[in-house]
Structure 1
Amino acid sequence: MKKLKRSNDAKISGVCGGIAEYMNLDPTVVRLGTVALAVFTAVIPVGISYMIAMAVMPESEV
Structure 2
Amino acid sequence: MSRLVRPTSNRVIGGVCAALAQRFGTSATTMRVIFLVSCLLPGPQFLVYIALWILFPSEDKTRTAW
TM-score by length of 1: 0.86
- Residues in 2 aligned to 1:37 and 1:26: alpha-carbon distance in whole angstroms: 17
Pairing 1:3–2:3 present: yes
Q: What RMSD over aligned residues (CA atoms) do the two structures have, in Å?
A: 1.4
Other-structure match for 1:58: 57
What pairs with 1:16-55 in structure 2 (closer than 5 Å)?
16-41=17-42, 45-55=44-54
Share of identical aligned residues, percent? 22
Runs of 4+ aligned residues of structure 1 deviating over 3 Å after TM superposition are none
- Residues in 2 aligned to 1:2 and 1:27: alpha-carbon distance in whole angstroms: 16
Report how many residues are paired. 60
Larger Rg: 2
Query: Where does structure 1 lack aligned partners over 5 or more consecutive residues?
Result: none
- Tell me which amino acid in the other structure corresponds to 2:59: S
TM-score by length of 2: 0.82
Q: Secondary structure at the match of 1:39?
A: coil
Query: Where does structure 2 lack aligned partners over 5 or more consecutive residues?
Result: none
